[in-house]
Amino acid sequence: MKKPIILINFKAYENSFGKKGVDIAKRIEKVSTEYSTEVILSVPATMIPILSQEVSLPIYAQHVDSYPLGAHTGSLLPEMIKEAGAKGTLLNHSEKRIRADEIHDALIRLNRLGLESVVCVDRYELVEPMALLKPTAILIEPPELIGSGISVSKAKPEVITNAVKEISKVPGVFIIAGAGISSGEDVYTAVKLGADGIGVASAVMKAKEPEKVVEDFIKSGIKAMDEKNDRN
């Protein structure tokens, strides 16, 4: 992962898949390339093989199951998303919660396969416990702000501050802030508060000009990272 981390969750909107999904991914790729940065796209399962071909950005799944290969009809397994071109996956998103043992089982598999992983949590008290299970990053999102347009940066900066403090106890795991992130200012604030990047969905997916929103995020993220002298 490359800081500032910008992770766009496509979710399951009407423009998250099919031609519209390819179109929005290409627009984001363009602006990402301009700034020589990297934007992660977390997409529906059917879009992984398509977007892995169509764009050069890192493609993530939105969830994986932790079953071993075998008789598991309807499951999406780490090996499948790797084969389809994914670089990593979200786990435990508030819209797809799983148990701690399932998270750990999935992380063991993902790590073995060289896939990245972002474990979502809804409170800072779960940052250290989940970080101990060795994901690539933790994404903290107060669920009441998800999709609200009111950003965690403004409404609950202490959630970010606390999460940053917690993650420092487990070296080598990134911390990403999310929920309601809508503007470059939200990104700037989150990074200055100590986050390694941000997660976003509706502000990009529902935008008329998603590439402009992403550009604003990238510029603000880079500016904050540079001020922290912490970019890589």
State the Rg of the chain over Cα: 16
Residue 93 a catalytic site member:
yes
- Toward a copy of itself, which CB reaches closer, 121 or 191? 121
Q: Which of 63, 93, 128, 215 is catalytic?
A: 93
Task: Collect all residues with Cβ–Cβ distance below 8 Å to 208 and sequence separation of at least 6.
Answer: none
User: Contact, 164 vs 175, CB < 8 A?
Assistant: yes
Residue 102 a catalytic site member:
no
Task: Collect all residues with Cβ–Cβ distance below 8 Å to 18 and sequence separation of at least 6.
Answer: none
Of 228, 220, 229, 227, nearest to 37 by C-alpha is 220
* Span near a copy of itself by CB under 8 A; candidates 33-41, 44-52, 154-162, 215-223: 44-52
Binding residue per annotation — 178?
Answer: no
Binding residue per annotation — 180?
Answer: yes
Of 58, 62, 21, nearest to 45 by C-alpha is 62
* Span near a copy of itself by CB under 8 A; candidates 32-40, 55-63, 109-117, 219-227: 55-63
Q: What is the smallest separation between the CB atom of 50 and a copy of itself, expressed in angstroms?
A: 6
- Name the phi and psi angles at 35, rounded to 5: -95, 15
Q: Is 124 in the site for a copy of itself (CB under 8 A)?
A: no
Binding to a copy of itself, residues 133-152 (CB under 8 A) = 133, 146-147
Q: Report which residue type is found at 133.
A: L
3-state class of 117 per DSSP? Answer: strand
Q: Report which residue type is found at 32.
A: S
79-118 mask for a copy of itself (x: CB under 8 A)? xxx-xx-----x--xxxxxxxxx-xx--------------
Q: Is 219 in the site for a copy of itself (CB under 8 A)?
A: no
- Which residue among 1, 3, 7, 9 contacts a copy of itself (CB under 8 A)? 9
Q: What is the smallest separation between the CB atom of 227 and a copy of itself, expressed in angstroms?
A: 32
The residue with tokens 């363009």 is 30
Task: Collect all residues with Cβ–Cβ distance below 8 Å to 29 and sequence separation of at least 6.
Answer: 39, 55, 56, 57
- Which residue among 26, 45, 54, 168 contacts a copy of itself (CB under 8 A)? 45
Q: State the Cα torsion 131-156-147-197 to the nearest 10°.
A: -50
Contact positions vs a copy of itself (CB under 8 A): 9, 11-14, 17-18, 42, 44-50, 61-63, 67, 69-77, 79-81, 83-84, 90, 93-101, 103-104, 121-123, 125-126, 128-130, 132-133, 146-147, 201-202
Q: Which positions make up the binding site for substrate?
A: 9-11, 146, 180, 201-202
Which residues are catalytically annotated?
93, 141
